A and B are shown apart, each in its own frame.
Chain A
Amino acid sequence: MLEDKLLVLKCRRGSRDAMCRIYEKYKDYLLTLAKGLLSGQQSAEDVVHDVFVSFARKARQFQLTGSLRGYLATCVINRVRDKIRARTRQAEALESANPVIPDLVNPEHRIIEAEELQRLRKAISQIPYEQREAVMLHLKGDMKFREIAKLQGVSVSTIHGRYRYGLDKLRSMLNSEFEK
């Protein structure tokens, strides 16, 4: 948090190193978030690109009031929503991605896990967007329900509902795949 404030301060003074450090620090987190919400690799990359470029444009006047991580995550969400609004809701083909699976050494286990993640991604892309956002922001974005509620402009109980329904749908989809 303190490091972020310092980095933002340096960016305001035009420090390229500080800007690179912010990108290095949050690029994977934001890409994962964008990809979870959009499911397409290229679209997710574009979102992260646009978020950082926009941040750089206003870096000189930028005032950090909360967490930088939260701010950038919110920017990603807004961009994702713009993208979704801009295009008709056609499911983007699940592109071949190379998910990184942490803490796994066994190659056999890795293949199983990779397949599992592929199925998970596909399932996430198929649940309604509001539910997807609630699930991804809470689990991957580490956001509290009240923060997501504020972002979506609905009550906390609605977010609880969206989160629960989203998880239930994911579970049902993954189990039916598993049982096939």
Chain B
Amino acid sequence: MRPAEDIKRLIKNLTDKTSAQMDERVLKDVLSALEESEKTSALTQPNIWRIIMKSKITKLATAAVIVTAIMLGMYALTGSFDGTSITMAQIRQAMEEIDWMQMDGWSEEERLTSWYSFASKVAIHVHSKGRILYRDFNAGKELVWNPGSEYIYESPIEEGRLEEGRQLAGGVNNVYKRLTKVFDSIEAKGDYKITRELGIYQSQEVEIWTSCRVKGKAGPTRTELFTMYIDIDKKLPIAATDVKKGADVDIQLNVEFKYPESGPADIYEAGAPRTAQIKPSPEQ
């Protein structure tokens, strides 16, 4: 009588090897399926907004606004910073005169260029992989173009996204005002030490504001050192970097801010091919 253990061992030892013919047949079909999926994915990919919002660079841009908000909060509490030339009131004043803001962000993995028009309530995002999102809050619609696609898909802006439009309506300062309250409390906890000094950024004289973690533990989503560069003449933020470090994480995100007189007039000017036709999104 064979023991059960013997049968178990035999089954565990069962091994079949694929033949060269099978490998050739499967790989040929698999690679062609992969290629096909790439084409269809380019045509139907609906998640550009999710991709953009999940982008670390977008988060950095938000962080830049947040740090400024922290400064605003400090300014509101103390009235001024010690012996520095730029005051938050000046920045606020400078920001109020702005219509268009351009943001170029990059990390090792990706790049993102965005334009915001506070007067016409438009946001445009161009991702390094070529995807373009054009969102018009006045018209309540968004246009998406994916690389390789012959079409630009149009859909109404979801209710949940309208908050962005409301922020745009109030200009940059509206965002700052709303965030100030939140970040006053963060600052009050004393997790970060904020310093300011004069310096140079790309041959330009700037004020460098840093926000350095002094409490808590390092982590992949936690900022270790945030640096923002403020143009001394124009009193506007021109760049920011965010360093995150963890056990196996060492990321630096970079953003540069520009304030052009205008931005892309439509999705075609943002880079979509002129031949691409606008049609309703198949997801509707």
Contacts and interface: CB of A to CB of B under 8 A. Distances in A.
B18 interface: yes
Nearest to B26: A49
A167 B4 contact: yes
A23 B37 contact: no
Interface in A1-33: 11, 14, 16, 19-20, 23, 27-28, 31-32
B247 interface: no
Nearest to B47: A61
Contacts of A175: 1-2
B36 A61 contact: no
A16 B11 contact: no
A87 to B, nearest CB: 21
Interface of B: 1-2, 4, 7-8, 10-18, 22-23, 25-27, 29-31, 33-38, 41
A108 to B, nearest CB: 18
23 contacts: A20-B27, A31-B16, A36-B11, A36-B14, A45-B22, A49-B29, A52-B26, A53-B26, A53-B33, A56-B29, A56-B33, A59-B37, A99-B16, A100-B15, A101-B13, A120-B7, A120-B11, A124-B11, A135-B11, A136-B11, A168-B4, A171-B2, A175-B2
Nearest to A32: B16
A100 B17 contact: yes
A28 B15 contact: yes
Contacts of A117: 10, 13-14
Contacts of A124: 11
A60 B2 CA distance: 49
Interface string A118-161: 00110010000000000110011000000000000000000000
Interface residues of B, dominant DSSP: helix
A19 B11 contact: no
Contacts, number: 112
Contacts of B18: 27-28, 31, 45, 48
Contacts of B30: 19, 23, 52-53, 55-56
Contacts of A61: 41
B41 A60 contact: yes
A35 interface: yes
A23 B26 contact: yes
A81 interface: no
B11 A178 contact: no
Contacts of A140: 11-12, 14
> Which residue of A14, A56, A100, A102 has the most chain B CB atoms within 10 A of its CB atom?
A56
A171 B4 contact: yes
Given A19-B34, A120-B11, A140-B11, 19 more contacts: A14-B34, A16-B31, A16-B34, A20-B31, A52-B29, A54-B33, A56-B29, A57-B33, A60-B38, A99-B16, A100-B15, A117-B13, A120-B7, A121-B14, A139-B8, A139-B11, A167-B7, A171-B7, A174-B7
A69 B38 CA distance: 24
A23 B24 CA distance: 11
Contacts of B17: 28, 31, 98, 100
Contacts of B31: 16, 19-20, 56
